[in-house]
């Protein structure tokens, strides 16, 4: 099972039969995942600081979720989409208890791309308009509508995007050209500039502005307090619906149930995915009774094979039960503060760590190649990421044009204080090794 020959044969088979989708394979073959740990074919233990694909909020194979899956796969797994079931209604009811008014109506899908696709269509159907604004560092998926509202990656050679796609300057304080006299980030001036560009480009048919409260794939861009409050006010002035995509930030990860609560705002439409299913394919779209009524009257249709499936709905219901019972928001805030403090210690030790940002257990660490110019350091970041993996820590590095290599650190909220320190120690070793070998 664990011999080098078998691993070589495994990857040879993968190369022969799997089509590449643009995502390079990890050199590791993971055969088991449990809690915060991944286990390789040769028995190595890897500390997971990405929660799988930023999804396994409560860790891998949480025993209560395993029992829910076992029960429903044997009793009630999948039906015609118009056959609603107790798990689906129970999940909708429980989710509504967490949602701030007037959000109260939900339906359930598979994945983040589908939830944002449905949210965009809802906004178009409800308003009768077609333009959609998104941040210039956004990631909302790669299906046609979601991909048209995604500017961080995946736009090349895909043909024409959805008509009416408009980009807004991303709130990237560390690298923004908008600065006050004291050198601090002038987000108000940047926002004024952004809206001036939108107002010039729009043909007067803006349906929605879709936003991530923390732009994850764009580099863990965490806008300053007050940013989204002002942004929502500008949308209201223009009669534009606000869609919040909380695929990675929702369900407690940032220290609040929903990251938009940080600025005391409420969107018109909320899309959840990843964390809601704790690694299983579950997403949701939630909105107000008024918008649901308008969509229904306008003939809104969203029908997919796994719409409102009972098995995944039961999982989501259990996830929310655990999040509430175990005070996951507080745990994320506490462990996140510990992680942040450790990253600040590393920043003081290593010149190549340019910026630390994020909230709760969604943290970003940006690597630079020059402390004076703050030039991006994606190659340096990748070398550190590779060394961390070799030492037993899985941590994702984002290397997109125009930014440095940004580590996305998002361990499960079940991570222990000792595991946080273990991960920080591995990062310390990895940075030390890479910088030492490069200066030798």
Longest C-alpha distance within the chain, in Å? 69
Cα separation, 200 vs 306, whole angstroms = 41
pLDDT value of residue 1: 44
Hey, which residues are catalytic here? 139
pLDDT value of residue 2: 45
Can you give the residue ranges of every domain in the chain? 4-62+327-439, 76-325
CATH number of 4-62+327-439: 3.90.1150.10
Residues in the chain: 440
184: Cβ–Cβ under 8 A, 6 or more apart, which residues?
A: none
Structure tokens at 23: 């995502």
pLDDT value of residue 396: 86
Residue from 405, 387, 412 nearest 220 by CA: 405
pLDDT value of residue 22: 86
Does the structural domain 76-325 have CATH classification 3.40.640.10? yes
Cα separation, 255 vs 246, whole angstroms = 13
- β-partners of residue 405 are 367
pLDDT value of residue 24: 85
Only one residue has tokens 């990062």, namely: 427
DSSP string, 40-71: ETTS-EEEESSHHHHT-TT-BT-HHHHHHHHH
| Helix H or strand E segment including 188 | helix 187-201
* CA-CA-CA-CA torsion sign (386, 388, 392, 394): negative
The alpha carbon of residue 39 and the mean position of all alpha carbons in its chain are separated, in whole angstroms, by 24
pLDDT value of residue 440: 67
Where helices occur in 203-327 by DSSP H, the ranges are 227-237, 274-277, 289-298, 310-325
pLDDT value of residue 289: 98
Same fold, 4-62+327-439 and 76-325: no
Only one residue has tokens 């991960």, namely: 423
319: Cβ–Cβ under 8 A, 6 or more apart, which residues?
A: 57, 58, 65, 251, 275, 276, 277, 278
Residue from 285, 257, 260, 281 nearest 270 by CA: 285
Along the 440 residues of the chain, how does pLDDT read in single tens digits?
Answer: 444 558 889 999 999 999 998 888 888 999 999 999 999 998 999 999 999 999 999 999 999 999 999 999 999 999 999 999 999 999 999 999 999 999 999 999 999 999 999 999 999 999 999 999 999 999 999 999 999 999 998 888 888 999 999 999 999 999 999 999 999 999 999 999 999 999 999 999 999 999 999 999 999 999 999 999 999 999 999 999 999 999 999 999 999 999 999 999 999 999 999 999 999 999 999 999 999 999 999 999 999 999 999 999 999 999 999 999 999 999 999 999 999 999 999 999 999 999 999 999 999 999 999 999 999 999 999 999 999 999 999 998 887 766 668 999 999 999 999 999 999 999 999 999 999 998 76
Q: How far is CA 73 from CA 69, 140, 186, 294, 318, in A?
A: 6, 30, 53, 36, 15
pLDDT value of residue 401: 67
Q: State phi, psi for 273 to the nearest 5 degrees.
A: -160, -125
Number of Cβ atoms within 10 Å of the Cβ of 104: 17
Q: State phi, psi for 78 to the nearest 5 degrees.
A: -155, 140
pLDDT one-digit tens code per residue, 226-282: 999 999 999 999 999 999 999 999 999 999 999 999 999 999 999 999 999 999 999
Report pTM.
Answer: 0.95
* CA-CA-CA-CA torsion sign (42, 20, 167, 304): negative
Structure tokens at 308: 């409102």
pLDDT value of residue 389: 96
């Amino acid at each position: 099972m664990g011999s080098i020959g078998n691993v070589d044969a495994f990857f040879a088979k993968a190369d022969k039969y799997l089509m590449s989708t643009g995502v390079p394979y990890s050199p590791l073959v993971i055969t088991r995942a449990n809690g915060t740990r991944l286990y390789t074919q040769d028995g190595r233990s890897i500390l997971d600081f990405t929660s799988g694909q930023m999804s396994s909020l409560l860790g891998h194979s949480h025993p209560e979720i395993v029992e829910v899956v076992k029960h429903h796969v044997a009793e009630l797994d999948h039906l015609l989409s118009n056959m609603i079931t107790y798990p689906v209604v129970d999940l909708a009811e429980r989710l509504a208890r967490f949602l701030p008014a007037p959000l109260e109506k939900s339906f359930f899908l598979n994945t983040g791309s589908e939830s944002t696709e449905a949210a965009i269509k809802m906004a178009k159907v409800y308003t009768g308009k077609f333009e959609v604004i998104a941040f210039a560092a956004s990631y909302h998926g790669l299906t046609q509508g979601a991909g048209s509202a995604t500017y961080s990656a995946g736009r090349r050679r895909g043909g024409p995007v959805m008509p009416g796609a408009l980009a807004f300057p991303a709130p990237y304080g560390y690298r923004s050209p908008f600065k006050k006299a004291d050198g601090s980030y002038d987000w108000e001036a940047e926002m004024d500039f952004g809206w001036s560009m939108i107002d010039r480009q729009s043909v007067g048919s803006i349906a929605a502005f879709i936003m991530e409260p923390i732009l994850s794939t764009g580099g863990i861009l965490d806008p300053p307090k007050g940013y989204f409050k002002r942004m929502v006010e500008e949308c209201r002035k223009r009669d534009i619906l606000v869609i919040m995509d909380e695929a990675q930030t929702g369900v407690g990860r940032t220290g609040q149930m929903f990251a938009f609560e940080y600025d005391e705002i409420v969107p018109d439409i909320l899309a959840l995915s990843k964390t809601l299913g704790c690694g299983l394919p579950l997403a949701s779209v939630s909105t107000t009774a008024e918008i649901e009524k308008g969509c229904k009257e306008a003939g809104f249709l969203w029908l997919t094979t796994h719409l409102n499936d009972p098995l995944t709905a039961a999982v989501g219901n259990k996830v929310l039960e655990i999040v509430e019972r175990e005070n996951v928001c507080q745990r994320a805030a506490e462990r996140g503060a510990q992680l942040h403090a450790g990253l600040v210690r590393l920043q003081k030790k290593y010149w190549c760590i340019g910026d630390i940002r994020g909230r709760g257990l969604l943290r970003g660490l940006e690597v630079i190649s020059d402390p004076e110019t703050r030039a991006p350091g994606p190659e340096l970041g990748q070398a550190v990421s590779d060394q961390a993996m070799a030492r037993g820590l899985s941590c994702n590095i984002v290397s997109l044009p125009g930014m440095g290599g940004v580590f996305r650190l998002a361990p499960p909220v079940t991570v222990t204080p000792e595991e946080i320190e273990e991960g920080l120690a591995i990062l310390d070793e990895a940075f030390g090794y890479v910088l030492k070998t490069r200066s030798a």
